[in-house]
């Protein structure tokens, strides 16, 4: 039996990178997918791939900075499948590794709006239905920036610290209601969003990646495998944890 048989998974940031990898893996494990992203063309291509492999997917365009867009997306998913068992909050943006003095208020607000407030917005739309059914699993994609400096700039690192705290509070507040919330903290993962910085960036940046114990970048599929474990019944006793997947970046 597939690990996610009879489950419905809502995945944000599904059109690319770690969200796309989760979508493909979760569908292969039997989940019905609600794939949400602002990139409609990417969603369309993803849906064609999933459908050609026999998976079931429903796509919704969503702007994570807009509450009405999120409400519309969640309601459309619920209308389609009648339930949401898994929420993977994967959508996010970078801040070009800018320090505080080079971070404009506009950039700060944009990063916070997408990377933490967007998670808060969509989680609050999904939580009531999960509580009503007595069970649900939430995965928030944090970062090594949730633990240490240097994984992003001032705004990104601050937002990812907030994701870790929010995840723990979700577990504390709703664990007894059947909700299991955990976070994943990726290190240098090779995606279209990060490629410019970690595989085509400065010599110093490339050397930093090579210096981690693993000696390489991670792949989105590796993050997806960890996400699968955390949303499946295999991890039923894991609550409120922020799990690093960083090739050893944070060991020192």
Rounded mean pLDDT for each run of 10 residues along the chain, 252 residues in total: 94 97 98 98 97 96 98 98 98 96 98 98 98 98 96 96 98 98 96 66 66 92 98 98 96 86
Structure confidence at residue 35 (pLDDT): 98
The answer to the question of residue 184 being in a domain is yes
Number of domains, the chain: 1
Out of 81, 156, 166, 174, pick the active-site residue: 156
Q: pTM value?
A: 0.94
Structure confidence at residue 86 (pLDDT): 98
The answer to the question of residue 202 being in a domain is no
CA distances from 19 to 9, 103, 134, 210, 215 (A): 12, 27, 26, 25, 24
The answer to the question of residue 208 being in a domain is no
CATH label of the domain that carries residue 38: 3.40.50.720
The answer to the question of residue 199 being in a domain is no
The answer to the question of residue 240 being in a domain is yes
Range of the domain at 119: 8-189+220-244
Structure confidence at residue 205 (pLDDT): 61
Region at 13 (left for phi over 0; alpha for psi -120 to 50; beta for the rest): left
Continuous segment of H or E residues that includes residue 179: strand 179-186
The answer to the question of residue 214 being in a domain is no
The answer to the question of residue 252 being in a domain is no
Structure confidence at residue 182 (pLDDT): 98
- Are 244 and 250 spatial neighbours (Cβ–Cβ below 8 Å)? yes
The answer to the question of residue 167 being in a domain is yes
Structure confidence at residue 198 (pLDDT): 61
Interior/surface letters 63-75, b for 16+ CB within 10 angstroms, e for the rest? bbbeeebbebbbe
Active site residue 156: yes
């Amino acid at each position: 039996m597939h690990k996610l048989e009879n489950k419905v998974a809502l995945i944000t940031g599904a059109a690319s990178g770690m969200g796309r990898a989760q979508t493909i893996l979760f569908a292969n494990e039997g989940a019905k997918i609600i794939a949400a992203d602002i990139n409609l063309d990417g969603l369309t291509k993803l849906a064609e791939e999933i459908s050609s492999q026999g998976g079931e997917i429903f796509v919704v365009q969503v702007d994570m900075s807009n509450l009405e867009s999120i409400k519309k997306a969640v309601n459309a998913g619920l209308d389609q499948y009648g339930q949401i068992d898994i929420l993977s909050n994967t959508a996010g943006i970078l801040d070009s590794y800018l320090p505080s003095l080079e971070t404009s208020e506009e950039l700060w607000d944009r990063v916070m709006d997408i990377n933490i407030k967007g998670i808060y917005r969509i989680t609050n739309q999904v939580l009531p239905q999960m509580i009503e059914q007595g069970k649900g699993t939430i995965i928030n994609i944090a970062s090594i920036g949730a633990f240490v400096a240097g994984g992003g700039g001032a705004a990104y690192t601050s937002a990812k610290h907030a994701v870790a705290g929010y995840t723990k509070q979700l577990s504390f507040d709703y664990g007894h209601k059947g909700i299991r919330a955990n976070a994943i903290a990726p290190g240098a993962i090779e995606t279209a969003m990060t490629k410019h910085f970690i595989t085509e960036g400065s010599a110093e940046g490339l050397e930093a990646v090579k210096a981690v114990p693993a000696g390489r970048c991670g792949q989105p599929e590796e993050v997806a495998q960890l996400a699968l474990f955390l949303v499946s019944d295999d991890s039923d006793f894991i609550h409120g944890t922020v799990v690093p997947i960083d090739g050893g970046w944070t060991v020192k």
